[in-house]
Amino acid sequence: MSGGDPRSRGGCGVDTAAWYGRAVTRLAQARVDPAVAREDLIWLGYDAEDLDALPPEVLKYSFGSGNPVGLTRLRPGEVVLDVGSGAGLDALIAARRVGPSGRVIGVDLTPEMVEKARENARLAGAENVEFRLVTGDSLPLEDASVDVVTSNCVLSCARAPDRLFAEALRVLRPGGRLTVSDVVSAPSALSGGAPTGSSCCSSGGLLEPPAPEDGRPSAASCCGSGSGSGFLSLEQYLDKLWQAGFGRIELGPRRDLAVRDSPRARALLQSAGAAAGAGLTPQELAWLRSCVYSTVAILAYKPGPAAPAN
């Protein structure tokens, strides 16, 4: 996780909190068709039933790489922590699944995202979810206080992933689950010679991949999935989970995605008017055409017997 002060430099070397703050503003101004946003999320692996249960406006504020909530069966009464909750999509899906007897807590380091998530929760009428603004790499929860920790495109590019994996283990109850969708580094040959990237995982992005604050392009800016990117490799990811103390780990499918194939990117690229309406720069359009990235789904368990849901 990263934030808006010097501690906010992620493993990708950028102020991701500031970048996501700008993303909220840009998406609010853009003419994003909720139907296209829905198609985009289904392309990433979300269930139509989950999306259709939410107000359409909520769907356009998504910056994930997959559907982490779909990796495990959430039970009524469970407590879920969403690390890097953004505008709240995954937290709101989880809140519906755990029901009124359960609870969901979303934490994020971007004030604009927390504000938008709270607004989206009001739109959705979700009363069993809360969103907290945090700083640094510590999670503001007691030991063994949640059943599930979920995260979407955050940990691989975090400033201190080891610390966050350890914190996730700490707040989980024995037998609890960490369910993650994330970007991992991939061979540069994946793109067939084209630039690689993920824009911090926005599949239909309206922003160019963030560059370091001196403005110079960098392979390690939070957009590279090729060699030299700031993302963990899958092997590094698994090793860090084991070092943190997680036990059994289940891997979901690994996908190599091209942003230009996403429904939202296709809509922007096929319509000059839509691109102009979204305020896309030539650099952003070039990125939409060339960016590819590799995603992975991971379900890891904290050792110990799982406690029954409330």
Alpha-carbon distance of 44 to 178, in angstroms, equals 19
What residues contact residue 288 under an 8 Å CB cut-off, 6+ apart? 205, 259, 260, 265, 268, 269, 280
Are 268 and 291 a contacting pair, CB within 8 Å?
A: no
Q: Please report the sign of the dihedral spanned by the C-alpha atoms of residue 23, residue 45, residue 85, residue 88.
A: positive
Domain boundaries, the chain: 6-185+232-257+295-301
CA angle, corner 195, sides to 193 and 200, nearest 5? 145
Q: What is the pLDDT of residue 279?
A: 60
Q: What is the pLDDT of residue 159?
A: 84
Q: Can you name the residues that pair with 104 across neighbouring β-strands?
A: 80, 129
DSSP per-residue codes, the chain: ---SSGGGB-TTSSBHHHHHHHHHHHHHHS---HHHHHHHHHHHT--HHHHHTS-HHHHT----SS-GGGGS---TT-EEEEET-TTSHHHHHHHHHH-TTSEEEEEES-HHHHHHHHHHHHHHT--SEEEEE--TT--SS-TT-EEEEEEES-GGG-S-HHHHHHHHHHHEEEEEEEEEEEEE---GGGGTTS----GGG-TT-SSPPP--TT----TTSTT--STT-SSPPHHHHHHHHHHHT---EEE---EEEEGGGSHHHHHHHH-HHHHHHHT--HHHHHHHHH-EEEEEEEEEE-SSPPPPP-
Which CATH homologous superfamily contains domain 6-185+232-257+295-301?
Answer: Vaccinia Virus protein VP39 (3.40.50.150)
Q: What is the pLDDT of residue 186?
A: 65
Alpha-carbon distance of 99 to 78, in angstroms, equals 9
Per-residue pLDDT in tens (0 to 9) along the chain, 310 residues: 333 332 333 443 444 444 444 544 555 555 678 898 999 999 999 999 999 999 998 998 887 899 999 999 999 999 999 999 999 999 999 999 999 999 999 999 889 899 999 999 999 999 999 999 998 788 999 999 999 999 999 999 888 999 999 999 999 999 999 999 999 986 433 333 333 333 333 333 333 333 433 333 332 333 333 333 578 999 999 999 999 999 999 999 889 998 889 888 887 777 655 445 456 677 777 777 888 889 999 999 999 987 655 4
Query: In this structure, how many other beta carbons lie within 10 angstroms of the beta carbon of residue 125?
Result: 9
Query: In this structure, how many other beta carbons lie within 10 angstroms of the beta carbon of residue 62?
Result: 25
